Structure 1
Amino acid sequence: MLATGSAFAAPEIRLPDEHEGLREEIDRILPDSESGNLIEARRNARDAARRIDQLLRSQGYYAAQIESFAEASEPPQAIVDVRPGPRFMFGSLTFDYSRPLYDPAIAERIRAGAELTSGEPALAEKVVAAEAQAVTRLREAGYPDAQADRRRAVVDHASDKMNVTFNLETARPARYGELVVCEDCNIRPGYFRSFSTFEEGEIYDPEDIQTYSDRIAGTGAFDSVDIKLAEAPEGEGWARRDILVSVEEGRTRTIEAGASYSTSEGIGVETLWTKRNIFGGAETLRLSAKLASLERNLHAELDFPHFFYPDRTFTVLGDVTQEETDAFDRKAATAGVRAEQPITEYIVGTLGAEVEVSRVEDFQTGERDFAILSGLADVRYDDTDDTLDPTEGFRAGVTLAPATGFGDEELVYLRAVTNFSTYKQVSGNPRIVLAGLFRAGTIFGASAADLPADRRFYAGGGGSVRGFPYQGIGPEDAEGDPIGGRSLIEMSAEVRAKLRGRWGGVVFVDAGSVERDGLPGFENLQTGAGVGVRYHTDFGPIRGDVAFPLSGGDGVQIYLSIGQAF
């Protein structure tokens, strides 16, 4: 007799009381299925029994008894009767090698790293993981061609144990030979050798090759990097194998352009021309020009990657600038050098020095000429997930810039700035990100009046406290123009939301203050707030913000630029 009802439901699973703990795992792997008649119910029961058998075997139940059938109810019900039986444990664990290992300690490390212990539940996933780990340890010990052969797992029903034998093909151990660079590469062979992570004759280690590849790729001069060992020669014992380096160069010349606008800073356009591999050592030359309502600038810098030390970048730079702001007018030429060195995965340090010759004019002190020699010491921490549009992580930095000046004023001072920013996705809604920024700065050793006007602190504008004009926060002169100060505080909080497609929105509050003395304070804190829109491109977000002051000002400010505010 066939039933005519139809329903979607998982089969009924019958388990002994002592194995009820398996029910959640079993329910997780069983899909709902339609049982319109007894034939479909029996088929669904058989399918469920097959899935359960695979699950139980993976969990160490190798003597399970599983019966599937259907009851002629309305609608028909698929039923699986499961008797898992005993859970098998690991018994003997054996590692067999195709050739004798050059060091018996390697076998001990492989056994210790397998994380399999006699008497533990014989889980299939642990067997697979132990085998993969054994191959990895062999390669780390100098066997680059090591691989797993067919393993043997024997289930002993008399003792409820599984005895496992791992068969490992070691091939020949390898030592590094010569570094062989592709003949058609436009890079000096000596450059590739200058920051290699290994010496000829050393034992092969895959981490050496990966680190070496990352260093070459990190120069930015190549679209692809391929580092591999030459084929092993026939024979026994150690094989000396050359390291073959092949790269595909990226575009050697690129041109980029950008633009910005705000109601207080006006329109600005920038262009950047980049030439890579200038001298055959992956050097990068950048020439940029900026034309804006408040500033005209020409800038050049030349980067030398891996400068006498792995991952160190040495930069020579120079620029000429003309600025005309409410606070000051400035003409300057600058030349400098800096060296940047990663300290850890997330910490980077920079040391540098520059000399600047400038003519600066402001209302208080008039026109003055300066020659300033300054140093730079900077440490930055950054574990964020994206440089231009972070959603998780933390950034922190401290910058110290001692300087001495000559000319119409002789002065010695230290400029110190610290900043922190954090980014966090809202739990349960990854499309919303909370972002916060705190920045503080101070200048020791010279009065505000003695300092060149461009070296003082200012706040307000699209990159500072939105809702206020550029340099619109802080002390003013008799004409109402900003005069800057020796200390600064800036704070920002944003709620960033992905809306639809590439579009997003932002709600923000900014605050800041500038003081004439050297200690930052909150007494004269000015606050602005607003909303913004973001269009997320492949290279970063394009932002538009509308902001208004909550204290100490009036009017509305509009900002358009590329990249998040911080």
Structure 2
Amino acid sequence: MNRDGASLLRRAGAWLFLLLVVSLALGCTRAPSQRFNLQSLKVTGNSQLEDAEIEERIASRETPRFLGLFPGVIYDYEIFNRFVLERDLQRIERLYRSRGYYEAHARAAHVYRDGAKVRVEIVVEEGQPVLLRRVDVHGLEKLPPALRAEARSAVLSEMPLEEPLEEEKLDTASKALARMLGDSGYAQAVVQKSADVNLPKRTAAAGFWVNAGQPSELGEVTLQGLQDLPEPKVRQALALEPGMAYSQSELDEAERALLDLGVFASVEIEPQVDKATPGPNGKPRVPILVKVEKAKLRSIHVGGGALVDALQSDAHLTFGWENQSFLGGMRKLQFQVQPGVVFYPTRFPTFQAPTKLLPKATFRTEFRQPGFITGRTNLVLRGQVRAGPVLWPGDASDKVPIIGYFDNRVSAGLERTFRRLYTYVSHNVQVNVPFYYYKPSDGENPSLGLVWVSYPALTTTLDLRDDPIHPHKGLYLGNELEVAGVGGDARDIKIQPEARVYLPVSKRVTLASRVGIGLLFAQNYGETVESNSLTRQPPAGYEANNDEKWIHDIQVMFMRGLFAGGSGSNRGYSLREIGPHGRVPFYNYGQSTAGQNCAAADADPSVCSLPLGGFTLWEASVELRFPLVGDLAGNLFADAADVSARRVDFRFRPHLSVGFGFRYDTPVGPIRLDLGYRVPGLQAPADAPDERKPKDGPFGVPVALSFGIGESY
């Protein structure tokens, strides 16, 4: 089996290499005859604007290189045109003026020719900026004092004094002022802006003139483009009625509510301000036109993928079906089936040839009923059945069984969004049933059995980011609260809050940070964890070998305990690799009955040092994200985390990892590849008996490789 697996890998590698060579050959292009191709374009002297900002505004483009090395492969050659270059110099100067640098000049300092290749160097002389010294807002006299102060604050927050005068900020401040008035009911507000520049003194003054009009109300709400969708359900989600106080934020919230229904490809809510008429109380009533475009309601999804990390290698297929208006009423029903196979024990970094193929599969379904109880409250029913192996880091051994679980989950809940605050209240039931993929000659452990938990949960998030997929600035707060004990084998309270902050370093570079904690207060389980992690034995009152109560305690901790490590946690470690480790009897059943001494210095970690889960968790991370080429981006990161076997025990064991990674943008989100290096001296103490030393990567370097879809946070 080992020899066959190695042969299979060699054949696959040969076919992939041949496919790559053929693709490169077919993708080669020729340089145009009697014309010059632009080999490189370099901008120097620009300290205030990034190269990428300038390159976005000009028409000249250097010839792209496949994999950063080969010009004319896959991509066409870019042509050098001196007339286009002259216009580009003007575009650069115009860009600088829009950023407050009115004295900036751009010139083509060098144009090098080498046969049909041209290299161009543009030199920018930025000069001194024009600084904003004064900002005035006129026309606020008839507004309440609090509203006047809020208006001035809205402008100054976008245009701080003693900063360069930027045209974009002038426009942004005007829109922020108009929006603030719109949120306060002034639908007819008009804002005009202007700026006076004194070039000799390099100073500027900005002015805004406001005609607020009268506080308005909502008028008749007209829907356009519904086709056969039920209008009452749409109006229920819209929640806009004639006579309500006008608010631009409320209109935006209504637009998000319609998009959340999942049946519209686009939604536009247009206030018809020019058609406003007096209402019964004399206030202007603004008609609202809601334009919708119906989306495709039924779809089938087919795909596949592969995974290689420190735990396993697998390949899988994905089949999905969804109906956005099941039985009418805009009810959503979807199914997904994902069969796959795990190549055991192939994993990073050893890449052993597979000796066993472990089948796995996942089935998921979800049903959503919009407008449940209230117009913007959704009923959500979810179900999942998953069968797959539970694998741990370390070398494979014929002495260790391969155990899998049927992980069955169902939940029912209500979700509601209040502007940027999302809330989801649910009740969840999880049933885990173990089975054996492989068991040694010693046989299986008879004490290993079904475990189930039942718990209500409250999930809340406050999302103040500018973009949920590629956040550049903003704040994200989240919390998960679970209370187990409504039936099941566990009684506990679990709380996991987190905060994320995103700061723009420049227009395309982002500094992201995250901090989170976890607290688990178990009432009827977990008392074996600390003793097990320190001595590899259970506490008094438990049998040392195959006590059914001890095994049950470990199984419940697998389901409810706190773990750290992996692509969404600390990227210098594998999944669940940080925290208390100890002996798991059903992974060394035969050896336990034979008197295996897991406290010995030469004890096999694959059977004597497995993750147990903990009660106190903290995680912190900081990451610098920056673009590279096209849809490819890079990042530098530092991650720290710790999990303790004690309750409310925040220790300084940082398990610090630093590293770098790459992101490639796809329609389903960024695909991540991160390499984390565990910093020596900032891990768990070498003599800590409760943790396991992670296995080093290639050449003995303490690294871990992780994959993922979407940003790490």
TM-score under structure 2 length normalisation: 0.51
- Tell me whether 1:558 sits opposite 2:623 in the alignment: no
Contact residue 274 and residue 286 of structure 1 kept, 8 A: yes
Q: 2:384 is matched with which residue?
A: 319
Structure 1 residues 281 and 179 mapped into 2: Cα distance closer, same or farther (>3 Å)? farther
Structure 1, unpaired ranges of 5+ = 1-26, 34-58, 60-88, 96-105, 117-127, 149-165
Q: 1:456 is matched with which residue?
A: 561
State the 1:335 CA deviation: 1.6
Selected match of 2:610 from 454, 460, 482: 482
- Tell me whether 1:289 sits opposite 2:334 in the alignment: no
- Structure 1 distance, partners of 2:296, 2:139, is 53
Letter in 1 for 2:614: R
- Structure 1 distance, partners of 2:338, 2:231, is 37
Once the two structures are superposed, residues 454-490 of structure 1 have per-residue CA deviations (whole angstroms, 9 ceiling, x without a partner) of: 3223333333332333333331214135242232433
State the 1:210 CA deviation: 5.0
State the 1:323 CA deviation: 3.4
State the 1:324 CA deviation: 1.8
- Tell me whether 1:392 sits opposite 2:439 in the alignment: no
Once the two structures are overlaid, the 10-residue window that deviates more, 521-530 or 226-235, is: 226-235
- Structure 1 distance, partners of 2:574, 2:278, is 77
Once the two structures are overlaid, the 10-residue window that deviates more, 390-399 or 313-322, is: 390-399
State the SS of the aligned residue for 2:620: strand
Once the two structures are superposed, residues 194-216 of structure 1 have per-residue CA deviations (whole angstroms, 9 ceiling, x without a partner) of: 23444356687766655434432
- Tell me whether 1:264 sits opposite 2:305 in the alignment: no
Letter in 2 for 1:542: I
Selected match of 1:421 from 500, 515, 531: 500
- Structure 2 distance, partners of 1:404, 1:236, is 55
Q: 2:346 is matched with which residue?
A: none
- Structure 1 distance, partners of 2:183, 2:473, is 33
Selected match of 1:465 from 551, 570, 585: 570
Once the two structures are overlaid, the 10-residue window that deviates more, 262-271 or 173-182, is: 173-182
Q: 1:221 is matched with which residue?
A: 263
Once the two structures are overlaid, the 10-residue window that deviates more, 455-464 or 359-368, is: 359-368
Letter in 2 for 1:388: I
The structure whose residues are more often strand, as a share, is: 1
Structure 1 residues 435 and 206 mapped into 2: Cα distance closer, same or farther (>3 Å)? closer
* Mapping for residues 96-495 of structure 1, pairs under 5 Å: 181-182=223-224, 185-200=227-242, 211-227=253-269, 245-254=290-299, 255=301, 257=303, 259=305, 260-267=307-314, 269=316, 271=318, 272-291=320-339, 293=342, 296-326=361-391, 329-345=404-420, 347-360=421-434, 366-404=447-485, 410-426=489-505, 430-448=508-526, 449=550, 450=553, 452=556, 453-473=558-578, 474-477=580-583, 478=598, 479-489=607-617, 490-495=619-624
Contact residue 498 and residue 514 of structure 2 kept, 8 A: no
Letter in 2 for 1:547: G
Once the two structures are superposed, residues 135-179 of structure 1 have per-residue CA deviations (whole angstroms, 9 ceiling, x without a partner) of: 99999999988999xxxxxxxxxxxxxxxxx9x999x99987765
Contact residue 264 and residue 461 of structure 1 kept, 8 A: no
TM-score under structure 1 length normalisation: 0.63
Contact residue 147 and residue 169 of structure 1 kept, 8 A: yes
Structure 1 residues 269 and 139 mapped into 2: Cα distance closer, same or farther (>3 Å)? same
The structure whose residues are more often helix, as a share, is: 2
- Structure 2 distance, partners of 1:301, 1:261, is 28
Structure 1 residues 422 and 364 mapped into 2: Cα distance closer, same or farther (>3 Å)? farther
- Structure 2 distance, partners of 1:233, 1:498, is 47
Letter in 1 for 2:429: V
- Identity among equivalent positions (%) equals 19
Contact residue 435 and residue 493 of structure 1 kept, 8 A: yes
Once the two structures are superposed, residues 85-126 of structure 1 have per-residue CA deviations (whole angstroms, 9 ceiling, x without a partner) of: xxxx99xx999xxxxxxxxxx98789x97999xxxxxxxxxx
Q: 2:640 is matched with which residue?
A: 511
- Structure 2 distance, partners of 1:377, 1:442, is 15
Once the two structures are superposed, residues 517-553 of structure 1 have per-residue CA deviations (whole angstroms, 9 ceiling, x without a partner) of: 3334436553444322222345532221223444532
- Structure 2 distance, partners of 1:460, 1:365, is 31
Q: 2:675 is matched with which residue?
A: 546
Letter in 1 for 2:373: F
Once the two structures are overlaid, the 10-residue window that deviates more, 376-385 or 456-465, is: 456-465
- Structure 2 distance, partners of 1:542, 1:527, is 24
Contact residue 616 and residue 646 of structure 2 kept, 8 A: no
State the 1:268 CA deviation: 5.3
Letter in 2 for 1:564: E
- Structure 1 distance, partners of 2:431, 2:234, is 39
Contact residue 473 and residue 510 of structure 2 kept, 8 A: no
State the 1:316 CA deviation: 0.8
State the SS of the aligned residue for 2:233: helix
Letter in 2 for 1:468: Y
Structure of larger gyration radius: 1
Structure 1 residues 203 and 417 mapped into 2: Cα distance closer, same or farther (>3 Å)? closer
- Structure 2 distance, partners of 1:107, 1:314, is 46
Structure 1 residues 199 and 344 mapped into 2: Cα distance closer, same or farther (>3 Å)? closer
Letter in 2 for 1:305: P
Structure 1 residues 542 and 380 mapped into 2: Cα distance closer, same or farther (>3 Å)? same
Once the two structures are superposed, residues 258-305 of structure 1 have per-residue CA deviations (whole angstroms, 9 ceiling, x without a partner) of: 644323232354635433122444333332334453863211112233
- Structure 2 distance, partners of 1:232, 1:211, is 23
Count of aligned positions: 447
Contact residue 566 and residue 575 of structure 2 kept, 8 A: yes
- Structure 1 distance, partners of 2:279, 2:374, is 37
State the SS of the aligned residue for 2:254: helix
- Structure 1 distance, partners of 2:445, 2:474, is 43
State the 1:320 CA deviation: 0.8
State the SS of the aligned residue for 1:194: helix
State the 1:338 CA deviation: 1.8
State the 1:374 CA deviation: 0.9
Contact residue 252 and residue 276 of structure 1 kept, 8 A: yes
Once the two structures are superposed, residues 299-330 of structure 1 have per-residue CA deviations (whole angstroms, 9 ceiling, x without a partner) of: 11122334333543321111112232136632
- Structure 2 distance, partners of 1:333, 1:307, is 26
Provide the alpha-carbon RMSD of the alignment: 5.1
Structure 1 residues 261 and 244 mapped into 2: Cα distance closer, same or farther (>3 Å)? same
Structure 1 residues 491 and 234 mapped into 2: Cα distance closer, same or farther (>3 Å)? closer
Structure 1 residues 548 and 289 mapped into 2: Cα distance closer, same or farther (>3 Å)? farther
Structure 1 residues 416 and 270 mapped into 2: Cα distance closer, same or farther (>3 Å)? farther
